[in-house]
Structure 1
């Protein structure tokens, strides 16, 4: 029998999530409050006996001038992705979203396909014949996750092209970097830092860098550093109201959902970062730093403090979020990959994001619109 998919309340959504080891912060009810330029709806998957067996946060954005929507489930939905009959989970979701006015559905199954150890990534970067991480032999892989891609294609889904979340081009990283914490002592985690990382953490400590927890009143300090970082690293910064909404919405849902860390040195904040916590999963969310006094290594000190705090919380993973999949020295993001992997992080590939066009004409029009932008 197929499942029934219908809207649910925030409390029911959150109660289901709280029973799990963790889900993506992008699938929390509060994330709909953060994404104020989208309409948000919580969906529930119900068995015939009324049991709630899955949830999903759907973000809806209308086409200009039309009451037709792009429906997006970032890093979701939260369902049984190993189920043999995946159709009974996804078909009622598509039917519900079509009735809601969706012309296209985008989702991101939170399923890991392949992993590369820090040593494997380091060897790949050094190999002149290796150009992309996906072409390098993984340290481990999940055959079920690889089969999932074939199952989705057979159902009419197609893998999305990678993209930034800008306008309609909603997208989350397919490749991320994660430091495993489960079953490891803090000494084990510290031993996973490469030589440069250990040296930089010691240098920061010797220079007098102090890492402190900040509050809402420190968001303007974070934002000044963030805009400096955006100019230096050539990306478009989010507006300050976005971070105010994050702090308010996530904090209202759970008082320790979002943290802010600041790296102080000689009376000045040199770096800052936000950290998100859902169950046993901790994410480094946004980072910011100044170019001044980089020699005292505030970023290494701050990340190490955040990793230590995640370990103290009992987290099973510290997630550095997105990394580039290119191994080309000419790519300016390769330095960020080295930084994250140097902390003992594994490169992790998810099965990616997938699209299902419910109205092929409008879906094609969206593709053309985005290509022109």
Structure 2
């Protein structure tokens, strides 16, 4: 029997999220307020007894001049992905969204497929024959992930092909780097760092780097560093208003949903970062830094402070978000992978994003348009 699906209130959605250990920060009601160009709606799955058993935040983006929409559930929905009858969850969603005018549906199942230890990542980077992380033998394979992928394909879903710098293109990253906190003291977490990381934290402390929590008024200081980082690392910067909207929307839902940290040295802000929290999962969301005074190691200092605070909040996972899949020295993002691997955590591969074309002509036209951007 299929689950019954209908729109739910923000309050119902937030209560559902609060009853779980964690869901993605992109699947909480307030995330819709961060994306004003999309129309957000909370969806709820109900069982035969009328109990809410699943939820999802869907973002609807209109096609120009047409009342047709791309429906997007980033890192969601929050349903029983291990259920043997997965179609009873997804068919009602497709039918509902088609009725709402969607021509295509994109979702990102929060299902882990593989994991690589920091040691395996380090070895892969050093191996001359290794070109991509996905080609390297994983440390662990998550049971059931391949079966879920096969079932999605049989249902007509199509896996989005990763780009050259997958994890930093459109959509959400398929590969991320996480530091497990569950069952570990903060001292044990730090002992997992490589020697360079531990040395840099001590250097920052000795140099007098101070890491403080910021406020809304400090967002312009963060933004100056962020723009410099965008120019240096060759990505398109979001406007300051985006981060101001994030701050206002997320913290209105929960004061700890978003935090801002700034690393100062002799009165100058050298690095800044945002941290997001949902349940026992904490994300390092956006980072920014200057090339000035790099020798005082502000980036290690700010990460250590954020990890310390996340551990105090009861986090089971500290998520450093996207990493590049490529292992080639010529890729400018390889240094970021090395930096994250120094935490001693693990590279994690999710099932990635999946599309379902409800109108094949419009879906193909959208794909052509995106490929030309």
SS of equivalent residue, structure 2 residue 304 = helix
Deviation at 1:25, TM superposition (A): 0.3
Partner of 2:46: 46
- The residue number in structure 2 matching 1:84 is 84
Q: How far does the alpha carbon of each residue in 1:107-156 deviate from its partner, in whole angstroms, 9 at most, with x for none?
A: 00000000000000001101111111001111101130111111100000
For residue 345 of structure 1, report the CA deviation from its aligned partner. 2.0
1:14 aligns with 2:14: yes
1:276, CA displacement in angstroms?
Answer: 0.3
Alpha-carbon shift at residue 48 of structure 1 (Å):
1.8
Secondary structure of residue in 2 paired with 1:110: coil
Structure 1 Cα separation of the partners of residues 188 and 84 of structure 2? 38
Structure 2 CA distance, aligned partners of 1:162 and 1:266? Answer: 43
Structure 1 residue runs of 4 or more that deviate by more than 3 Å after TM superposition: none
Matches within 5 A, 1:57-72: 57-72=57-72
Match of 2:119 in 1: 119
Q: Quote the residue 1:129 is aligned against.
A: 129
Task: Tell me, yes or no, if the aligned pair for 1:162 and 1:173 is still in contact at 8 Å.
Answer: no
**Which residue does 1:185 correspond to in 2?**
185
CA distance in 2, matches of 1:74, 1:163: 17
Q: CA deviation at 1:170?
A: 4.6
Determine helix, strand or coil for the equivalent of 2:58.
strand
User: Any idea what the Cα deviations from partners look like across 1:12-38, whole Å, max 9, x if unmatched?
Assistant: 000000000000000000000001111
The answer for the alignment partner of 1:144 in structure 2 is 144
Decide whether the 8 Å contact of 1:7 with 1:43 is kept in 2. Answer: yes
CA change 1:67–1:87 in 2 (3 A) is same
Partner of 1:371: 371
- Given that residues 117 and 345 in structure 1 are in contact (C-alpha distance below 8 angstroms), is that contact kept between their aligned partners in structure 2? yes
Tell me how far apart the structure 1 counterparts of residues 100 and 133 of structure 2 sit (CA, whole Å).
Answer: 39
CA contact (8 A) 1:178 1:321 kept: yes
SS at match of 1:43: strand
What residue in structure 1 maps to residue 229 of structure 2?
A: 229
Structure 1 residues 151-300: aligned runs within 5 Å? 151-162=151-162, 170-300=170-300
Structure-2 separation of matches of 1:33 and 1:66: 23
SS of residue matched to 2:16 = helix
Distance in 2, Cα, partners of 1:233 & 1:209: 24
Q: 1:219·1:244 contact (CA, 8 Å) conserved in 2? A: yes
1:95 alignment partner in structure 2: 95
1:308 match? 308
Instruction: Name the CA distance, whole Å, in 1 between partners of 2:270 and 2:30.
Output: 30
In 2, the alpha carbon distance for the partners of 1:201 and 1:270 equals 15
Spell out, residue by residue over 1:195-243, the C-alpha distance to the aligned partner (whole angstroms, 9 max, x if none). 1101111100100000001111100100011001111111110011100
Structure 1 residue 360 displacement after superposition: 0.2
1:249-268 CA distances to partner (integer Å, 9 max, x unpaired)? Answer: 00000011100001010010
3-state DSSP class of the match of 1:50? coil
Q: Does 1:346 align with 2:346?
A: yes
Q: Tell me, which stretches of 5 or more residues in structure 1 are unaligned?
A: none
SS at match of 2:144: helix
* Shift in CA distance, 57/170, structure 1 to aligned 2, threshold 3 Å: farther
Distance 2:118 2:256 in 1: 30
For residue 143 of structure 1, give the secondary structure of its aligned residue in structure 2: coil
In the alignment, which residue of structure 1 is the partner of 2:37? 37
What is the rounded CA distance, in whole Å, between the counterparts of 1:280 and 1:16 in structure 2? 15
State the distance in 1 between where 2:51 and 2:288 align. 44
Instruction: Please give the alpha-carbon distance, in whole angstroms, between the structure 2 residues aligned to 1:342 and 1:170.
Output: 27
TM-score when normalising by structure 2: 0.98
Q: 1:163 to 1:13 in 2, by over 3 A?
A: farther
TM-score under structure 1 length normalisation? 0.98
Number of aligned residue pairs: give it.
Answer: 369
The alignment status of 1:318 with 2:310, answered yes or no, reads: no
Q: Unaligned stretches of 5+ in structure 2?
A: none
CA contact (8 A) 1:163 1:171 kept: no
